[in-house]
A and B are shown apart, each in its own frame.
Chain A
């Protein structure tokens, strides 16, 4: 069991390092277009969509840091940083939730 956790963790670390490969996919996922991309497709921005789309300003939109967009190296670094933040917060939270749940 401990060996399995260790090996799976190694796999996860490899995935984090390789994560910038995900940046190579240039397009936008179906139904996830920004309002201006949608405008290019259908010719208008639906009014409700326009209103709701700006409801939240994420601190690191698209797993990036402002200023990193131009350079592949910087955006890769920001992407890896995002993965590390995600792993630490998600892993940490679930470890905490799991410990509490397992006790009960």
Chain B
């Protein structure tokens, strides 16, 4: 899903820089107010994990390949804003150092994989989990569905960005200047290969890591309070009375 240089015309890639700069700025502010010291090693691990998981290219029939991103599980564990920063840093390094994703397309790629993936992942997980216990099995399913939908929607966005190029920028004669395939080709292609392959991998990874953390220490989850913390809050409330 790493869009290379040349596939998006300036109208599109500049628009995404304009969209992403305030989002990055706000994410930085959120990180400053929300991140706790004990989460720092997890944040570092998350970026490293996302980098490596994207190197696991999976072949599918038809000669295409793809990979998971890990964005949903990072969003669920550390919150979508922290995940956005971790994945963005990863994508910038991939573009600059390894030519994976274009430098003009960094903002668009960060929108798809760094923004859409963790936000969809986190909110779908929260939506399905509802008021269930943090240790409940429902949440494992919630995390898997969240992972699947997160990557599928990110792929849909990438498909739309690619597919609008022939409409947006072409020569006077109508020859596309950038991505030549239209929406009717790019969107189904991106959606199908993710929905039936790479998003399933994302769902599996999300559920496996979720289950491990759920069984080890639920207090690390973003927006969840540990049992100790709950007791402390209760005690504090009692002493106040």
Contacts and interface: CB of A to CB of B under 8 A. Distances in A.
Instruction: Kindly name the residue among A32, A50, A61, A95 whose own CB sees the greatest number of chain B CB atoms within 10 A.
Output: A32
Interface stretch (B84-92, B124-132, B140-148): B84-92
Contact of A25 (B2, B57, B96): B57
A22 B66 CA distance: 10
A35 B37 CA distance: 46
A49 B213 CA distance: 44
B99 A61 contact: yes
Contact of A5 (B33, B45, B49, B189): B45
B102 A31 contact: no
Given A27-B59, A58-B96, A95-B43, A90 B31 contact: no
A101 B85 CA distance: 12
B217 A104 contact: no
Given A46-B176, A49-B179, A60-B98, A5 B42 contact: yes
B28 to A, nearest CB: 8
B154 to A, nearest CB: 13
Interface residues of B, number: 77
Given A16-B52, A30-B189, A94-B89, A48 B40 contact: no
Interface residues of A, number: 65
Contacts of B65: 25-29
A31 B1 CA distance: 8
Interface string A38-58: 100010101111111111111
B89 A90 contact: yes
Interface string B133-170: 00000000000000000000000001000100000010
B14 interface: no
A89 B103 CA distance: 18
A81 B212 CA distance: 28
Contact of B33 (A52, A89, A104): A104
Contacts of A15: 49, 52-53, 56
Given A30-B186, A51-B6, A95-B44, 6 more contacts: A19-B56, A22-B56, A30-B64, A38-B180, A53-B102, A55-B102
